[in-house]
Amino acid sequence: MRSKKNTQCRVKANVPPGIPRSRGVQKRRVKAVAPRRQRGSPLYWLVTASAVATSFWVGLNLPLGDRNQAPAIMRGSLPPATSVVGGINGLSRAASARLAAEIAAAAAREQQARFTVPPHFQGKTITHVDLAGDRKVIALTFDDGPWPESTNAILYILRKHDVRATFFLLGRNIRNFPERARQVAEHGHAIANHSWSHPYHQQTPASAAGQIDNTDIWIEQATGVRSQLFRPPGGYLHNGMAAYAAGKGQVVVMWSGDSKDYYASSAKIASNVINTARPGGIVLLHDGGGDRDRTINALPQIITTLRQQGYEFVTVPELLELHHQQMQATKG
């Protein structure tokens, strides 16, 4: 007989010696519930077979704190989007909605993989992006991750509210928590570079290259994404790192609205973001670097209030692409 030892799928990360491994994202099988039919009828077996097949690729791929929430797709083939519109046989409406969200996330990942910085943004520093028309779009950004618990909680809130954001990651945190970095990308968020160790002091050309290039390597290894955006730690533009990133053609991304979540209360964080919101704006928040409970508590109010004011949430790459499309339309 075959041993029933450990059949759990484990994600192995390439972590250097001496660095503790973080817990991999555990994937659990979710039972798909088929409608009640008379056992033995052809329709019963048809629906049951569909449910079993569906449950094969449906698993819990939510953050670690969400294991009892609605299911999401494990890695593997996705069904066509048209099959989600009327619900999928054997899945509840909530599960079908979650499946649609996963398909959207997959599309966002594919879009990010194809993204290239528009020529007029290459090597430039931006705080916001001016867009023509009345469309109100805004980009939420999170610095200093990935962080085990707070990044997890923020990913859950963003998924619950169907928001895509941009995460500026530290190289050393990616090395320590590669599974969490991979999870950020798998949820369809944009991935960007925030240096290796968050230094403020002046960098030599060699140290600036090490801070940025090593982080780019770890980002690609953990997530498959080639970062084309850089945010200087603390917003310091003149210590050598921003100049090095710009020299590589990357966009140096600052912000138009500072949440001040590194010291403010949850209520003040929310008001800081809401009061400084503007079309084409870029909002500074944090998911790592310390206790982010106040940010986590403020985030749902930020999202809900801005949506009520007519804002759409986009990633920074999407913001750049919208501007590029408008320029191309003007030329045409």
Q: Which of residues 332 and 56 earns the better pLDDT score?
A: 332
CATH number of 118-331: 3.20.20.370
- Digit-coded pLDDT (tens) for 61-80: 334 444 333 333 223 333 34
The letter for the amino acid at 120 is: H
The answer, yes or no, to whether residue 53 has pLDDT greater than 50, is no
SS3 for 116? coil
**d(C-alpha 9, C-alpha 324), whole Å:** 42
Q: Compute the mean pLDDT over every residue in the chain, rounded to the nearest whole number.
A: 80
DSSP designation for 36: P
CA 260-245-16 angle, to 5 degrees, is: 85
Residues 152 and 191: their CA atoms lie apart, in Å, by: 15
What is residue 37's three-state secondary structure? coil
Q: Is the dihedral of CA 116, 122, 126, 128 positive or negative?
A: negative
Of 152, 193, 200, 197, the residue nearest 169 (C-alpha):
193
pLDDT tens string 261-277: 999 999 999 999 999 99
Pick the range with the lowest mean pLDDT from 69-83, 98-112, 128-142.
69-83
Span 83-110, average pLDDT: 66
**Tokens 């020529």 map to which residue?**
119
Q: How many residues are listed for the chain in this entry?
A: 332
Instruction: Give me the percent of the chain exceeding a pLDDT of 90.
Output: 63
Distance of alpha carbon 296 from alpha carbon 175, whole angstroms: 24
Range 110-128 average pLDDT: 86
Q: Predicted confidence band at 99 (pLDDT cuts at 50, 70, 90)?
A: confident
Instruction: Give the catalytic positions in this structure.
Output: 143, 286
Domain boundaries, the chain: 42-112, 118-331
Rounded CA separation 95/291 (Å): 32
